[in-house]
Amino acid sequence: MKIALGKGPYGEDCRVAINTDLLRGGAAFTLISQTAYFIYLGWCAELVSLTFLNASQTLASATITTAEMGYFSTPAPPNRAGQTLTKLCAGAFTGTGTGLKRNTSSFATALAAPAHLWGGIRVNATTPGQFTSVSRDWSAGQYLTLAAAGAFSSTPTFAGVVPAFSDAGTIGPDLFGTSD
């Protein structure tokens, strides 16, 4: 994992939180309506400000009721088991159109360190969109999902589960955090 929000080891400003253990850029991943997807972004050892969660949408959603992104934390790192994710902040994003998608309004949340940081996405749409994907988690638990998940805006915790084993297939949407 690469968690590089805040100051780097040499005092430089770092602005990206991304999981570098998962393979990126495979086939497109199609979201399932009302299912939450969580990607582990890494261990955050110092206080940082969470601003945007980003993803690349390759096929637009149709008839969207809800499109949400958010940051979450867990008490433990990925461990091949499901975990309870606690919402830190969440907000809407525009699911129509394609290209870079991020929360519509910047988050103004300071992450109390240390914490295991996760990015999450959920839509409620008749035809959910497709996003660039990540793969090769090997059921390590760096990717969690929850079917029939409640809205991020009104649900404080989510019981994420490790999906069935997937070798090289796409497993989830590619999410990454930025502080600008």
Range of the domain at 127: 2-178
Contact 64, 121 (CB under 8 A): no
Residues 76-109 pLDDT 10s: 999 999 999 999 999 999 888 899 999 999 998 8
E-strand ranges in 22-180 read 23-24, 29-30, 36-44, 48-50, 52-59, 62-74, 83-92, 99-102, 109-111, 115-127, 130-131, 133-135, 143-146, 157-160, 170-173, 176-178
Residues 37-54 pLDDT 10s: 999 998 887 777 779 999
Mean pLDDT of 2-26: 66
Total domains present in the chain: 1
Residues 110-165 pLDDT 10s: 777 788 999 999 999 998 999 999 988 888 899 999 999 999 999 999 999 998 76
